[in-house]
Amino acid sequence: MAGHHHHIDPGAGDRRIVAAVGVNLLLTVAQIVGGIFSGSLALIADAIHNLSDALALVIAFGARKIARRPADKAMTFGYARAEVVAALINYTTLIVIGIWLVYEGIARLITPAGVDGWLVIWIAALALVIDLVTAALTYAMSKDSMNIRAAFLHNVSDALGSVGVIVAGVLILTFGWTWVDPVVTLAIAGYILWQSLTEIGPVIRLLMLGSPVEADADAIVADMRAVD
């Protein structure tokens, strides 16, 4: 990826990713258990988003390892594209998850369920702290890699999801508005879909060996022709 390069020692980068994965997996379990006990679909939506984060980071981690391999007879251009393939898998998974959440959210709007607001707030607050820590761990690396950028964006959207869940918990406690829970679920799903569909385009373009969006082919040809 072009842009400013802040090179991080690969070993240190790997350790950051492993730490982020571990924390996200623990958080996912806590959120799913909390979602089941509190009856909150929004909390489960946030948990799935977190799980997708952990998977995004696992895929990112594997791809980083593969991408560092030198070129060989089978892969004469090297393995750097592994990161782009990883980003494609991540965004595709997220699109599927987003569609499922929309379906679940609409079903919950039609037949509302009771939600325990306090449990939702505490677990979502814990999630928010963990999301911010994970985002901080992967931020510097996200500038160098499309693949880590995908994982980093997952985290930032997770943090926003957690804020939404906290707001839902507060509204359910204050006004007894249980419909807020599926509405927040739909908002999280909408955001997941919008983000994934926006980011998947450049990834596919790169895999299709398309020229960079900012490149003007005619100007490049004209510059070349100007040279004797």
- What would the pLDDT profile of 176-210 be if each residue is shown by its tens digit? 888 888 998 898 889 889 988 988 998 899 889 88
What span, in angstroms and rounded, lies between the C-alpha atoms of 105 and 44? 11
Q: Residues of the chain whose pLDDT is less than 50?
A: 1-7
Task: Give the pLDDT of residue 5.
Answer: 42
CA dihedral sign, ordered 123, 130, 160, 191 = negative
pLDDT digits (tens, 9 = 90+) for 20-47: 788 888 888 888 888 888 888 888 888 8
Task: Give the pLDDT of residue 9.
Answer: 63
Give the CB-side neighbour count of residue 21, counting CA atoms within 13 A. Answer: 15
Task: Give the pLDDT of residue 186.
Answer: 92
What span, in angstroms and rounded, lies between the C-alpha atoms of 141 and 5? 9
What span, in angstroms and rounded, lies between the C-alpha atoms of 50 and 29? 10
Task: Give the pLDDT of residue 147.
Answer: 67
Task: Give the pLDDT of residue 10.
Answer: 66
Task: Give the pLDDT of residue 1.
Answer: 39
> What is the SS3 assignment for 179?
coil
Side chain identity at 8, as an amino acid letter? I
